[in-house]
């Protein structure tokens, strides 16, 4: 099958467990992007809104300048994520295009390496309220740990361009947290959940060291009084029911429980592999300041400041970016 025609805007997709991510270059409609057409654009849809994604692709003219079905017959789109297999027939039937299916981990690593090596300012730290750019030059970039927090979490050791190993992962990831959040807080969207968490207080539900030992004993033994002992641990001894808790406090507790847990797993894996730099990607982070602050705090705390958590712009689009890059292969 031929590739997507050179004159067309380029489009690549990452169809994950929760979200469909699109990365594309400026379209034929003069959709901005400058004369060289190289500016990248990003869009995402919930996976259950596949039809809206199709409409978007059509409306933006992303399949070619005269995007009629007959000309689309020859179009082969780069696509990654499990949904690239599951929905290939839908793309064929509804848009008349073929999907060229790419390995998900290959794509995520290519996307991360592309951002890190080509986009100045793409990597940054976020600690103590400060966002600072991280200077990554090709000779100090590798090896690094890549923690991609999507519906689940994948943890990869990256040693070079296209050189990586998926070390491990956990099924307790963004999908788990957002699933529980929908049940417990009634939130309708991820952004609503993040906003709720911002207004909440996790200490209403979380058990901290001080609650167990009492402040005086803690001080005598040199324990930090505010250290989390058990996420949601206060609920056990309380007479309150679910509806007695504020959705804000539930959201805040969920976000801190999952974020610290994933950061701790990342720290443990990085320690085992002797890696000092940990890059975080995936839509879980969503550019949310306190999520990045909490990850950074945890990595710094557990590693006694020997490791650094680094975040990426467009962190949710690593797989789709990697897929787009593969048009040049
Ligand atoms: P996947 O490829 O598995 O879909 P992503 O990297 O797209 O993974 O991340 C999905 C996770 O990101 C969700 O489980 C949720 O925690 C979070 N998320 C961010 N934005 C949204 C959104 N608009 N809708 C649902 N979940 C979102």
Per-residue DSSP letters for 73-137?
TT-EEEEESTHHHHTHHHIIIII--EEEEE-HHHHHHHHHHHHHHHSTT-EEEEETTEEEE----
Which of 152, 158, 156 is closest to 176 using CA atoms? 152
Nearest ligand 1 atom to alpha carbon 14: 2
160 pLDDT higher than 80: yes
pTM for this structure? 0.93
10 pLDDT higher than 70: yes
Residue where the block lists tokens 């979380």: 206
Mean pLDDT, rounded, for 238-263: 98
Distance 150 CA to ligand 1 centre (A): 6
Q: pLDDT tier at 218 (50, 70, 90 boundaries)?
A: confident
Please tell me the total number of residues recorded for the chain in this structure.
329
Among protein residues, the one with the nearest Cα to ligand 1's atom 22 is: 190
Which of 104, 64, 65 is closest to 81 using CA atoms? 104
Q: pLDDT tier at 9 (50, 70, 90 boundaries)?
A: confident
Determine the pLDDT at residue 82.
97
Mutation probe of ligand 1 site: the residue of 283, 286, 315 with most atoms within 8 A of C-beta = 283
pLDDT in tens, 115-144: 999 999 999 999 999 999 999 887 889 999
Mutation probe of ligand 1 site: the residue of 18, 170, 193, 315 with most atoms within 8 A of C-beta = 18
Among protein residues, the one with the nearest Cα to ligand 1's atom 10 is: 150
Distance 5 CA to ligand 1 centre (A): 31
Mean pLDDT, rounded, for 293-310: 97
Assigned token pair, 17: 């467990």
State the Cα–Cα distance between residues 234 and 223, nearest whole angstrom.
19
pLDDT in tens, 36-94: 456 899 999 999 999 999 999 999 999 876 444 445 557 899 999 999 999 999 999 99
Measured in degrees and rounded to the nearest 5, phi and psi for residue 52 equal -65, -35
Q: pLDDT tier at 216 (50, 70, 90 boundaries)?
A: confident
Burial of 6 (0-12, 13-18, 19+ CB in 10 A): exposed
Distance 21 CA to ligand 1 centre (A): 10
Backbone angle region of 265, left / alpha / beta, with phi > 0 → left and psi within -120 to 50 → alpha: alpha
Among protein residues, the one with the nearest Cα to ligand 1's atom 27 is: 190
240 pLDDT higher than 90: yes
Among protein residues, the one with the nearest Cα to ligand 1's atom 9 is: 150
Lowest mean pLDDT among 31-45, 180-194, 208-222, 312-326: 31-45
Among protein residues, the one with the nearest Cα to ligand 1's atom 17 is: 284
Determine the pLDDT at residue 70.
46
Indicate the average pLDDT of the chain.
92
Distance 121 CA to ligand 1 centre (A): 24
Q: Ligand 1 site: residues with CB under 6 angstroms?
A: 16-19, 46, 81, 150-151, 174-175, 177-178, 190, 282-284, 286, 316
Please say whether the beta carbons of 61 and 67 come within 8 A: yes
Among protein residues, the one with the nearest Cα to ligand 1's atom 25 is: 190
Interface ipTM > 0.95: yes
Q: pLDDT tier at 29 (50, 70, 90 boundaries)?
A: low
Assigned token pair, 192: 């609503």
Q: What is the dihedral of CA 67, 73, 74, 79, to 10 degrees?
A: 80
Cβ atoms within 10 Å of 237's Cβ, excluding its own: 8
């Amino acid at each position: 099958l031929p590739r997507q025609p050179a004159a067309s805007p380029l489009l690549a997709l990452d169809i994950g467990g929760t979200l469909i991510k699109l990365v594309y270059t400026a379209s034929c409609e003069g959709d901005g992007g400058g004369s060289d057409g190289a500016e990248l654009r990003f869009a995402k849809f919930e996976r259950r809104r596949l039809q809206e994604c199709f409409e978007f692709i059509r409306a933006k003219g992303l399949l070619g300048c005269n995007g009629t079905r007959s000309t689309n017959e020859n179009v082969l789109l780069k696509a990654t994520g499990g949904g690239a297999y599951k929905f290939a027939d839908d793309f064929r039937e509804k848009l008349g295009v073929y999907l060229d299916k790419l390995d998900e981990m290959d794509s995520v690593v290519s996307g991360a390496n592309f951002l890190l090596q080509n986009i100045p300012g793409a990597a940054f730290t976020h600690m103590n309220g400060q966002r600072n750019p991280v200077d990554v030059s090709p000779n100090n970039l590798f090896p690094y740990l890549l923690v991609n927090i999507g519906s689940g979490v994948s943890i990869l050791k990256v040693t070079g361009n296209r050189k990586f190993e998926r070390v491990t992962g956990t099924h307790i990831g963004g999908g788990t947290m957002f699933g529980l959040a929908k049940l417990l807080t009634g939130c309708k969207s991820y952004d609503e959940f993040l906003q709720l968490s911002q207004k909440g207080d996790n200490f209403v539900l979380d058990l901290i060291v001080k609650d167990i030992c009492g402040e005086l004993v803690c001080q005598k033994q040199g324990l930090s009084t505010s250290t989390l002992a058990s996420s949601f641990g206060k609920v056990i001894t309380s007479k309150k029911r679910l509806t007695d808790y504020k959705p804000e406090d539930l959201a805040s507790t969920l976000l801190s429980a999952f974020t610290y847990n994933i950061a701790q797993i990342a720290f443990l894996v990085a320690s085992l592999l002797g890696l000092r730099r940990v890059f975080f990607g995936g839509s879980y982070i969503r550019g949310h300041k306190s999520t990045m602050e909490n990850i950074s705090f945890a990595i710094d705390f557990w590693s006694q400041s020997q490791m650094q958590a680094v975040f990426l712009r467009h962190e949710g689009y690593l797989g789709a970016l990697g897929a787009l890059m593969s048009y040049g292969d």
